[in-house]
Amino acid sequence: MEEIKIGFIGSGHMGQRAHIANYATLPDVELTALAEGRTETAKAVAQCYGIKTIYSDHKEMLEKAQLDEDYAVEYVDPTGKGWNKIKARCRLL
């Protein structure tokens, strides 16, 4: 099976400890991109999980990242801010 190239929007506590960590264990998933506004957090998470490219803005990631054609994205935000704008642009996992 071909790997699914996915991106993440947000990498807070739950994003790191549950979502990203779990996807990293799947053999058919390639962690391709991360959109995270906190630069140091983004660098640390990308290094830890082998995420190839980081973006400070989710819009830039959705435009530039080489994700699967359906924009396979995990949106990690417990506040729900921005939810409608993002789900209108991509298929969320």
Q: Kindly state the DSSP code that residue 92 receives in the 8-state scheme.
A: B
Give me the pLDDT at residue 11, please: 83
User: Domain limits at 65?
Assistant: 4-87
H or E element at residue 42: helix 39-49
Q: Which two tokens stand for residue 16?
A: 């790191």
Q: Does residue 74 form part of some domain?
A: yes
- The answer to whether 74 and 45 have CB atoms below 8 angstroms apart is no
Q: How far apart are CA 5 and CA 85, in angstroms?
A: 21
* Dihedral (Cα; 72, 77, 80, 85), 10-degree rounding: -40
pLDDT tens track for 31-81: 899 999 999 999 999 999 999 999 998 889 888 988 876 555 555 555 555
Counting the structural domains of the chain, the total is 1
Note whether residue 11 is domain-resident: yes
CATH of the domain at 33: 3.40.50.720
Q: How confident is the model at residue 12 (pLDDT cuts 50, 70, 90)?
A: confident
Residue 93 lies in a domain: no
